[in-house]
Amino acid sequence: MTSLPDWLQGADGAVMPDAPLAPYVWFRVGGAAQWLFMPKTPEDLAQVLRTKPADVPLTVLGVGSNVLVRDGGIRGLVVRLGSGFNGIAVGDDHTLRAGAAVPDAMVAKTAAKAGIAGLEFFCGIPGTVGGACVMNAGCYGAETCDVFVEAEALTPDGQTVRLSPEDMGFSYRRSQAASRGLIFVAATFKGRADTPANIQARMDEISARRAESQPIREKTGGSTFKNPDGHKSWQLIDQAGWRGRGVGGAKFSDLHANFLINTGTATAADLEATGEQARRQVKDQTGVELHWEIKRLGEPMPVSHTVSS
């Protein structure tokens, strides 16, 4: 049993040593966190960050929709944002401010009710506001950067900063700000006026398209690989023969070949090996290199694999 260090004792929020992380990620696999901290408020988190030794690794976990935690678990401090980061409020001039733990779908729903158009695409992203800021999440031709106004974040040493679109440095499925180790606390988005009925109709269309083309009821992690320039990852994986195929209890979805699935018995190693073997085959056959969109966290455990058909 890992003991709590002095800098975590008395922290305001839930603190758990050796905490299994599988229940917190959509794949439902992975090892334990050395220390899992669920702060009640941004102030609680800032206080822990100010006292945490610099050599202790820090990992932030949102809703776990686009994350693969390796079987060896995550060393150091894992922060999972909870109810204290779930606030959402409609502002003036078609703006909306949401806490980092607010589901993207809730952003879309709240905006629709308020007659704020332009945020509909968030209903098709299975993540949170914090994750959307980290990776410039998007779908169906729209991205977070299109509606982003400002974000509030904490630095690794617990200082509060505000970031403009220029500060974020958005590009395809990433933001430069995230590489600085910032922990997003909240973000403000701006849309345009429209009727709630029109907005809801567009959201219904997005949801229907997603249900038809993605395995939304499976244990998955969203898009596995980013789309390379001039290519679609699912097509490359399909052409390489990996649709419906995988390693151990993992496979690529029969419905969408860029979605990894835990069929029920997969380990994190099975899922990662499936992705890596498909990447190598795509590179060998086409010369195109696929880059992971899923965030792989923690340390692996040695496992032997056999390919399933």
Q: Confirm whether 65 is a catalytic residue.
A: no
Residue 124 amino acid letter: G
Closest CA to 270 of 1, 48, 71: 71
CB 7 within 8 A of CB 53: yes
Torsion 102-106-108-113 (CA) sign = negative
Catalytic residue among 120, 143, 152, 293: 293
For 162, list phi and psi in degrees, rounded to 5: -115, 140
Q: From residue 186, give the alpha-carbon distance in Å to each of 1, 133, 173, 230.
A: 34, 9, 19, 34
Catalytic residue among 65, 175, 223, 233: 223
Closest CA to 153 of 49, 37, 15: 49
Q: Confirm whether 293 is a catalytic residue.
A: yes
The tokens describing 278, both together, are: 């498909």
The dihedral over CA atoms of 44, 46, 47, 49, expressed in degrees to the nearest 10, equals: 120
Q: Confirm whether 223 is a catalytic residue.
A: yes
Catalytic residue among 70, 173, 243, 245: 173
List, by residue number, the catalytic residues.
173, 223, 293
